[in-house]
Amino acid sequence: MAKRILVANWKNFPDSLQQVGEILDGYSKNSSVFKKISTFIAPPLSYFESVSKRTKSFAHLASQDIFIEKGTITGLVGADILKSFGVRLSIIGHSERRSLGETNEFVSEKIKKALKENIIPLVCVGESERDREGEYLEFIRHELRLSLAGVKRKDDAKKLIIAYEPIWAISTKAKGAIEAEDLAQMVIFIKKILTDLYGRETADRIPILYGGSVDQNNVSDFVQTGISGFLVGRASLDSKKFSEIAKSLIKK
């Protein structure tokens, strides 16, 4: 069985380099746990160097986005710069980026860029609400198919990671994470879409992560749902909570 995957998305936190050091000190105390899984940390760009140096022995550096534009553009951080820090994975199509107007087509271009640069694309999909009629399923199908429209080769598809992040479970008004039974059904549904696109053998090689109000209290309910790991936001800023999530992924 392939290693479980754990991705920390720090978003635009913490507020200072001192806090970064405190978080990384906590991570380091549980380095043996993080080594047993594939751990990725996606900090703000300004903390890349610190995170890269401090976690090199037990985690990989990740970016929260990837740019596809070329040329001299103020504010742009190109793939070459990301790679120079050792970035191995890029979060693409996160719901917070999509809420700013990022389309499925733009997400597709970013995925192609990541693949070209040999950076793992972590492709996020998720519905904003769940209706009783099941229309959210068609939304997920549409979002996933368009986002992956540029990935034609099965060898490229095998390099993908999909993160299912239901927006209704991660917003400030969220009531909590999804139920384990519902997540298991969604994993099957996403696998079916991937099978339709790339065939069963390739689909089985594509990991599916869950992200949405993930914390140390609910992960044990999710590890048996068919997921390959977690995309963790707020809880990843607490080294104790993040370590507990990591431990849940290596328990038999």
Q: Which of 94, 96, 127, 143 is catalytic?
A: 94
The Cα–Cα gap between 14 and 138 comes to 37
165 has catalytic annotation: yes
- DSSP-derived secondary structure for 43-61: --GGGHHHHHHHHTTT-EE
Beta strands in 128-207 (DSSP E): 161-164
Burial class (CB in 10 A: 0-12, 13-18, 19+), 247: middle
The Cα 95–Cα 100 span in angstroms is 9
Q: 96, 143, 165, 244: which is the annotated catalytic residue?
A: 165
- Identity of the residue numbered 241: K
How far is the C-alpha of 108 from the C-alpha of 165, rounded, in Å? 18
What distances in angstroms separate CA 54 from CA 34, 121, 155, one per listed residue? 13, 23, 33
Does the annotation count 94 as an active-site position?
Answer: yes
Helix (H) or strand (E) holding 199: none
Where in the sequence numbering do the catalytic residues fall? 94, 165
